[in-house]
A and B are shown apart, each in its own frame.
Chain A
Amino acid sequence: MRDSRVEIRIGGTGGQGLILCAKMLADALAAAGKHVAQSQTYEPTSRGGYCNSDLVISDGEVDFPLATALDWLVLLDRLAIRPSWPLLKPGALVIADTRLCPDLPEGDRRAHHLPLSRTAIELGSERVANIVALGALAALAEICERRALEQAVRADTPRSFLDLNLDALAAGYRLGEQAITAPSSTSAG
């Protein structure tokens, strides 16, 4: 099939800002002329329950806008493993938070365990773990221009959080770049 389709899921729990960071990435991709569909699944509980935010990216119009075979999976909580693991494409790449998602299922997956939430805490707020994750994902996936992503983060951040979010994005990029040079582990858990 002629297909430029790329699927990304950011999975975790409600309240982690998964939808916001997916929207930022989508804005950056849209600015580069990509067609993007962003969807989410959430439970009736607003906070704490399983939540994911998915992006389907295509050069042309997106036909089916929901995830069918993930190219990239970012895990910010272990709750997201079970619903997401069966959707992984062979050869898909997983980025998992070392602290919140320490164990991954067996299988032939490339996985990077990165200290996303710990980095956010060190920066001053666990709430920016989503932005750290966004930076790491962007560095590893190389799906959009860094400047475009910074612009999207600026556009969607209240002034009082701007410095923190930009720092978090930069820290995420550093984590991602280090991971590129370090060998990725296959997800042996």
Chain B
Amino acid sequence: MNAVDTALAPKPAVRLISGNHACALGALAAGCRFFAGYPITPSSEIAERLSRLLPEVDGVFVQMEDEIASIAAVIGASMGGVKALTATSGPGFSLKQENIGYAAGAEIPCVIVNVMRGGPSTGMPTRPAQGDIMQARWGSHGDYPIVVLAPASVREIYDETMRAFDLAETCRTPVVLLYDQVIAQLAETVELGDTSDLARTERKWASGPRAAYQPYAADEDGIPAMSRPGAGYRVHTTGLNHAENGFPTQNPEAVARNLGRLLTKLDRHRDAIDSWQTINCDDAEVLIVAIGISARAATRALDIARARGVRAGLFRPITLWPFPETALREVAARARAVLVPEMNAGQLSLEVERILGGKRVEGMHRFNGEPITPAEIAARAESLAKAALAKETR
């Protein structure tokens, strides 16, 4: 029995746990052995739980002096070869952005949880929102790739936390787990089963002679092998634009070459990255696109709408960025109208509009801290269906 088992195994099969609790357990199961964080509602439960669990598996928990220090320490630990996690909410996510960009540019794997609460600024710390959808993708300056996962249930937080680590390691990228306050603090009965034998992804480590090693020369998969400090490669890591040898350069060809690879590297891993769920989409006249608590409301709205004779379907991106756009296009082709309920003033709807170019996309936006209800979504779907039908028969 390895160290993980003692922390995870001897519990009943079905447990009532919160989303944040599931995140902590998923991280441990994925092999995370370092957490640095700073207290912030509503994500602190992750830190509190890992402060107890990480020492049990010979990992390290540290509460840092601020949000910036937390992401910095996490990247530092990962540069040392240890899988690392930090968790925060809106204000802290804003503070972390510069260093998330560093991790993206220097290609240091790490996982950042952002539990979305009301904003802007301090906003509503104990109320849910979905206002960080765009920030999660575009929050740091410059061009960079990033993976953002948007689980919608406690069980899915557990699974997606593990997948976040796998993708971070495989693609050498920061991965953001983005979920709202409702899902974070919601407790659900889940069956986690035996997690001890899950095959976890390990980073691709450099091998071979030092003289031949180029820290940013990629293999065919677009991902360079990383060198572990102490293994004798003695490389340089920098946030400056760098060439394949890792050293800063302003040579336009070298920058274009390396940055170009960075910006397209996720394209070669879309099979592993893309993830979405469709419900009742085959015959849907109204397609609903939603994440998190809004998607949970939409799921119930489907039944309400169908009971009233409206054929509604749901497309739920689980990987939010890069957006599974091919899948959405395919599903949306058959729909007469598209509805995007979200707890913000219009973010997911912008991306859906962009992808479905020309198709009418109706946003349903709320930012008062109250989740959008199934009945409201169903009513809007019904009126959209009627309007679309009227337009076609006219």
Contacts and interface: CB of A to CB of B under 8 A. Distances in A.
Given A23-B16, A44-B126, A65-B182, A35 B189 contact: yes
Given A63-B300, A66-B182, A38 B188 contact: yes
A65 B373 CA distance: 10
6 contacts: A1-B303, A23-B187, A34-B189, A35-B189, A37-B188, A66-B182
A69 to B, nearest CB: 9
A138 B188 CA distance: 20
B14 interface: yes
Given A26-B16, A30-B14, A36-B16, A64 B299 contact: yes
Interface string A26-40: 110111001111111
A68 B374 contact: yes
Interface string B15-55: 11000000000000000000000000000000000000000
B297 interface: yes
B278 to A, nearest CB: 15
Interface in A1-28: 1-3, 23, 26-27
A172 B296 CA distance: 34
A109 B264 CA distance: 61
Given A63-B299, A64-B297, A36 B304 contact: no
B241 interface: no
A34 B126 CA distance: 28
A43 B371 CA distance: 16
Interface string B356-394: 000000000000000101110000000000000000000
Interface of B: 14-16, 125-126, 153, 182, 185-189, 293, 296-297, 299-300, 303-304, 307, 371, 373-375
Interface string A54-81: 0000000011111010000000000000
Contact of B16 (A1, A2, A30, A68): A30
B91 to A, nearest CB: 15
Contacts of A27: 16
Interface in A64-110: 64-66, 68
B45 to A, nearest CB: 13
A63 B288 CA distance: 15
Nearest to A26: B16
Nearest to A1: B303
Contacts of B371: 66
Given A39-B182, A68-B374, A1 B304 contact: yes
Contacts of B14: 30-31
A2 B374 CA distance: 15
Contacts of B296: 63-65
Contact of A39 (B153, B185, B297, B374): B185
Given A31-B14, A66-B371, A68-B373, 13 more contacts: A1-B307, A2-B303, A3-B303, A36-B16, A37-B186, A37-B188, A38-B16, A43-B126, A44-B126, A62-B188, A63-B296, A63-B374, A66-B293
Contacts of B182: 39, 65-66
Contacts of A39: 182, 185-187
Nearest to A5: B300
A13 to B, nearest CB: 15
A176 to B, nearest CB: 23
B125 A38 contact: no
Residue of B16, B186, B303, B307 with most partner-chain A CB within 10 A:
B16
Nearest to A67: B373
A110 B307 CA distance: 29
B269 to A, nearest CB: 30
B187 A26 contact: yes
Nearest to B279: A63
> What are the 3 tightest A-B residue pairs by CB atom distance, in nearest-first order?
A64-B300, A38-B187, A63-B300
Contact of A65 (B15, B126, B186, B303): B186
Contacts of B374: 63-64, 68
Contacts of B304: 1
B117 to A, nearest CB: 11
Contacts of A23: 16, 187
A153 B388 CA distance: 54
Contacts of B188: 35-38, 62, 65
A164 to B, nearest CB: 23
Contacts of B375: 68
B150 to A, nearest CB: 16
